[in-house]
Amino acid sequence: MIRLEAVCRTYRLGDQPVKALDRVDLDIDAGAYVSVMGPSGSGKSTLLNVIGLLDTPDSGRYQLEGREMTCLDEEARAAERNRRIGFVFQAYHLIDRLSARENIELPLVLAGMAPSERRPLVDDIVDRLGLTERAGHLPRQLSGGQRQRVAIARAVIRKPALLLADEPTGNLDSHSGAEVIELLEELNDQGITLLVVTHDPNIGRRAGRRLRMEDGRITADRSGTETGDALR
């Protein structure tokens, strides 16, 4: 489903070029549950952004669901993001003047869907994520856990094939964090491909496939059940 070949991405930090991705090769199957861990600045967020079409690689190839992504222009990338990819951010990124429901509806609005078509979709997802009572509230009236649920609802409303979560529990207490992770895993069970970037080893180890990044390279790629190594 995702195929990266020799993908490079270099940032300029002042005069210093920083290699965020250094010839990264990666294959991810549809429906996989992948965690990406590593120290700060190792390039995990950049990897997520490149896969999420928010960032473009300097060189290398990127295929999503068998389609070449590297040659798309910004308009086409925006359309792909809308249709195939859902994002969950550490800082939720909800629009504070819109109610929970309107935030969830936003991707459909941007896609130009008619209100009558939008309503049942939003009703359904609000119901599924247990947000019915909170749907009319503004983000500031919600708890952190509820906000992240709203953000997840927004990420999956378009039924994307790929869900990208960048530190989804970073701003949450352990209890809410666990709930959010369970929700993401539940969605993964229903078939969505899930990619989680995290600092938290307890979360990272739950994934079926665990990547470790350092200096822009993937240094470890483990699948299957947990072994003693990953705990260290």
Partner 1 sequence: MRFADLLQFNGRLLLRQRFRTAMSLLAMAVGVAAVLLLTGLGEGARQFVLNEFSLLGSDVLIMLPGRKETTGGMPPITGEGTRDITLEDVEALGRLNGVRRVAPLIVGNAQTHVGGRSRELLTVGTSEVFFAIRKLKTLQGRPLPVMPLKRAEPVCILGTDARRELFGARPALGEWLRIGDRRFRVIGILDDRGESLGMEMSEAILIPVAAAQQIFDVQGMFRVFLQVRPGSPMEDVRGEILALMQQRHGGERDVTLITQDALLGAFDDILRLLTLGVGAIAAISLLVAGILIMNITLISVSQRTREIGLLKALGASAATVRLLFVCEALQLALLGCLIGIASGYGLLALGHWLWPLLPFVVSLWALGAALLIAIATALLFAWLPASRAARLPPVLALQGMQGGAR
The residue ranges that bind partner 1 (CB under 8 A) are: 11-12, 49, 52, 54-55, 74-75, 78-79, 81-83, 87, 89, 93, 95, 97-98, 106-107, 109-112, 114-115, 154, 158
* Least distance between partner 1 and beta carbon 172 (Å): 19
C-alpha 176 chain-centroid distance: 18
**Which residues of the chain form beta strands (DSSP E)?**
2-13, 16-28, 33-37, 59-64, 67-68, 85-88, 162-166, 193-197, 209-214, 217-223
Give the residue with the Cβ less far from partner 1, 98 or 178.
98
What is the spatial distance between Cα 152 and Cα 165, in angstroms, rounded to a whole number?
9
Tell me the CA distances in angstroms from 214 to 72, 91, 149, 192, 227, one per residue in order. Answer: 28, 24, 30, 27, 20
Give the residue with the Cβ less far from partner 1, 20 or 207.
20
Amino acid identity of 174? S
* Least distance between partner 1 and beta carbon 227 (Å): 34
Give the residue with the Cβ less far from partner 1, 12 or 232.
12
Tell me the HSE value of 208 on the side-chain side, using a 13 A CA sphere.
12
* Least distance between partner 1 and beta carbon 76 (Å): 9
Give the residue with the Cβ less far from partner 1, 16 or 227.
16
Give the residue with the Cβ less far from partner 1, 10 or 205.
10
Query: Does residue 73 sit in helix, strand or coil?
Result: coil
* Least distance between partner 1 and beta carbon 226 (Å): 32
What is the spatial distance between Cα 155 and Cα 125, in angstroms, rounded to a whole number?
11
Query: Does residue 5 sit in helix, strand or coil?
Result: strand
* Least distance between partner 1 and beta carbon 224 (Å): 32
